[in-house]
Amino acid sequence: MTRGSGITGMVARAGRAFIAAKGRIPEEDGAALAEWLLSGAPILDGDRELLAELVLGKWGRPPTRPEIFPSHPDVLAVVAAIRAGGLQKQVAHSFGISLRTVANYLKMFEEREKAIADGLAKARQAK
């Protein structure tokens, strides 16, 4: 079966909503798959494997998460929004991230600033 047709397309579409619900509506994205499952159509082995991967959360994350670092554009944007007077809850909502992620970004950025300041102070002392 080709991607985007039959059950493969339905599982892929439902899976995208399941993985990152930001801006997705599972009731809409998963409707075709739910209808197909309830229709009594035969489920082939490859289709079973796709469904098993979906429900086991194997589609939930890539094998390795992209590394986020203090100078990452997302971190810088969140820190800038907070420093511009934004409340953490508002910033989290506007960026579509959790409060915990906002706190992690702030901590990461502040630790980097401290390390830079400490390094500069040591360099000045060495002169």
In tens, the pLDDT along 82-100 reads: 999 989 999 999 989 999 9
What are the start and end residues of each CATH 1.10.10 domain in the chain? 73-126
CATH architecture of 73-126: Orthogonal Bundle (1.10)
CA 75/CA 84 separation, integer angstroms: 14
Higher pLDDT, 23 or 42: 42
- Give pLDDT, residue 106: 94
Total count of residues recorded for the chain? 127
- Give pLDDT, residue 4: 47
- Percent of the chain, pLDDT > 70? 79
Q: What is the average pLDDT score of the chain? A: 81
- pLDDT over 80 (residue 64): no
CA 91/CA 49 separation, integer angstroms: 39
